[in-house]
Amino acid sequence: MGAKGISITFLGGAETVTGSKTLVQTDKHQVMVDCGMFQGLKQLRTKNWSKFPKQESKIDHVILTHAHLDHSGYLPVLARNGFDGTIHCTPATKRLAQLILLDSAKIQEEDAQEANEGQWSSHKPAKPLYTVADVEKCLKQFVTHKYGEWVILNEEFKFVLHNSGHIAGSAWVELRVKEEKIVFSGDLGRSRPMLLYPAHRCEEADYLVIESTYGGRVHEDNDPKDDLETIINETLKRGGNVLIPAFAVERTQEILYILGELLVAHKIPKVPIYIDSPMAISATDIFMDFEFRRPISDEIMAVLNDHMKEVRSPSESKKTVASTEQKIVIAGSGMLSGGRMLHYFERHIGEANCSIVLTGYQAEGTRGRQLIMGMPELKFFGKYHKVLARIYRLRNLSAHADQKELLLWINRISKKPKRVFINHGERVNADTLRVRIQDQFGIPSEVAEEGKEYLI
Ligand SMILES: [Zn+2]
């Protein structure tokens, strides 16, 4: 332990955007911020299966910044392996985490079963990382708190959650350990999110742990609405379909909102919009329930009600895949690691008149990243498929602050931190942000190393 008797250990989300887990400990207590699953490249995914480097039962609490799997997806494993403390988050995060974790468990169980039947897997027998039963067990440990409400964990630790403007219910964490204020940015949203309110300002921090997903980049400022309008009109004119792989949470709602705006303004033809994802349908329902979002006009709601078609059951999905009508399809998964979108791909990816519109961050090793890289063939369902469809990317739809916005958020901190740790970003992004923070603010900054214990 350092002079203050506090240490911070990064157990994931260090030099990668996945697996976020940061342990803060004193000699008496252990509190973890986020408990994410590694995703993407195989060497990252296999880490989910390694022995956890700490004793799970010694962790007293987990504070969850938001529901995304790269922040929440290891919770069922942690709980199964002995963590019996409380998981703290906002009410919207709890509802979304339930949806996301159950879906993830179901996909894993199904994938394992299919792999065993089809014998694609190199592990015999293939196993899910966690099951629906594991998820149900850990969901009982969730306790919710509103933004701005101080929560006392013990005589050394207390915290408060503030809106981070990234997804519904997302938060940055102000953690007080003894006399030190450690701030965890979680994932920070854009300065002007499309549907949410912008991140709350941080007033002071002794130490700051900040994400760097786009630490090395500035988003373009063209309007995604204009790009989508052009893509949709050109594709429909060519007689093709528009396939939009999208994350069920946030991105689907943003795309729907844009489509609603385009329809209200008569900028695209009246075309059916299929949401082929029970999860995206539920996420949209949750989204509509909370007051954290900006109001949506009655006109947009009405036009979406007219054009949106919800596809829930697998048989309805099969029928929609087989139908010959021209359409826009929104389905998961956002990075194409699985999900119903692959069935639309099986039918349309070899058609030159079809368009595929990627709408979010595509991690290394995912099929989404391969499409962006211009791979001529894409492997799914155990074989290679020729990519003839046009591939587009709506970059500026990101739910993440870019470099400028991250620096702006730090700039607005009145009492600046004395040390900054940069996590949740691939090496080049994290390192670029590190240099920028040092240059602009003169604060000693370092890129968090996985497994290293930092004494403060
Ligand atoms: Zn996130």
Distance in Å, CA 375 to ligand 1 centroid = 27
* Residues lying with their CB under 5 A of ligand 1, a single-atom ion: 68, 187
- Evaluate whether 205 touches 228 at the Cβ level (below 8 Å): no
d(CA 355, CA 340): 17
Neighbours of 377 (CB within 10 A): 11
Residue ranges and CATH numbers for the domains of the chain are 7-217+400-455 (3.60.15.10), 224-397 (3.40.50.10890)
Residues 6+ apart with CB under 8 A from 383: none
Distance in Å, CA 333 to ligand 1 centroid = 15
pLDDT tens across the length of the chain (456 residues): 567 899 999 999 988 888 999 999 999 999 999 999 998 778 888 899 999 999 999 999 999 999 999 999 999 999 999 999 999 999 999 999 999 999 999 988 988 888 788 765 566 678 999 999 999 999 999 999 999 999 999 999 999 999 999 999 999 999 999 999 999 999 999 999 999 999 999 999 999 999 999 999 898 888 899 999 999 999 999 999 999 999 999 999 999 999 999 999 999 999 999 999 999 999 999 998 887 788 899 999 999 999 999 999 999 999 999 999 999 999 998 999 888 999 999 999 999 999 999 998 888 889 999 999 999 999 999 999 999 999 999 978 888 999 999 999 999 999 999 999 999 999 999 999 999 999 999 999 999 999 999 999
Distance in Å, CA 5 to ligand 1 centroid = 31
d(CA 235, CA 141): 48
Distance in Å, CA 46 to ligand 1 centroid = 21
d(CA 399, CA 8): 27
Residue entry with tokens 């008149």: 353
Distance in Å, CA 384 to ligand 1 centroid = 31
Q: Using the CB atoms, write b or e for 68-83: b if 16+ within 10 Å.
A: bbbbbbbbbbbbbeeb
Q: What six digits make up the tokens of 441?
A: 């603010």
d(CA 156, CA 154): 5
DSSP result, 151-193:
EE-SSSEEEEEEE-SSSTT-EEEEEEETTEEEEE--S---SS-
- Evaluate whether 142 touches 169 at the Cβ level (below 8 Å): no
